[in-house]
């Protein structure tokens, strides 16, 4: 897998959001709370890395990372599918 981009929350928070390319060539979003939760979603469709990076940056800076992530994806009509890790 090729690593593309990653974003950490502000100092004192362990939230991480990242983009990666799967072995099949699809783009995936990875969330890790630094403690117990690691979630992966496959991005449906083709979206530029710049657009997806903007989504992740906005989400990781918000107090509630996951709700903000879903809201930012919805605003841009980006569909995701959950991947079993």
Q: Taking residues 25-30, what's their average pLDDT?
A: 93
Among 9-18, 20-29, 49-58, 60-69, the minimum mean pLDDT is found in 9-18
What pLDDT, on a 0 to 100 scale, did the predictor assign at position 46?
86
Q: Where are the domains of the chain?
A: 2-83
What pLDDT, on a 0 to 100 scale, did the predictor assign at position 3?
46
Q: What is the pTM of this model?
A: 0.86
Distance CA 78, CA 85 (A): 21
Buried b (16+ CB within 10 A) or exposed e, 8-28: ebeeeeebbbbbbeeeeeebb
Instruction: Name the H helices within 1-85.
Output: 49-61, 65-75
Distance CA 61, CA 40 (A): 19
Residue 41 has pLDDT above 80, yes or no: yes
Residue 48 has pLDDT above 90, yes or no: no
DSSP state of 9: P
Q: Taking residues 25-42, what's their average pLDDT?
A: 92
What element of type H or E holds 79? strand 79-83
């Amino acid at each position: 897998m090729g690593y593309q981009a990653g974003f950490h929350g502000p100092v004192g928070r362990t939230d991480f959001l990242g983009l990666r390319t799967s072995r099949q060539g699809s783009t995936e979003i990875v969330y890790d709370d630094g403690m117990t939760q690691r979630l992966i979603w496959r991005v449906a469709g083709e979206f530029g890395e710049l657009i997806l990076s903007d989504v992740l940056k906005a989400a990781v800076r918000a107090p509630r990372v996951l709700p903000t992530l879903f809201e930012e994806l919805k605003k841009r009509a980006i569909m995701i599918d959950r991947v079993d890790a």
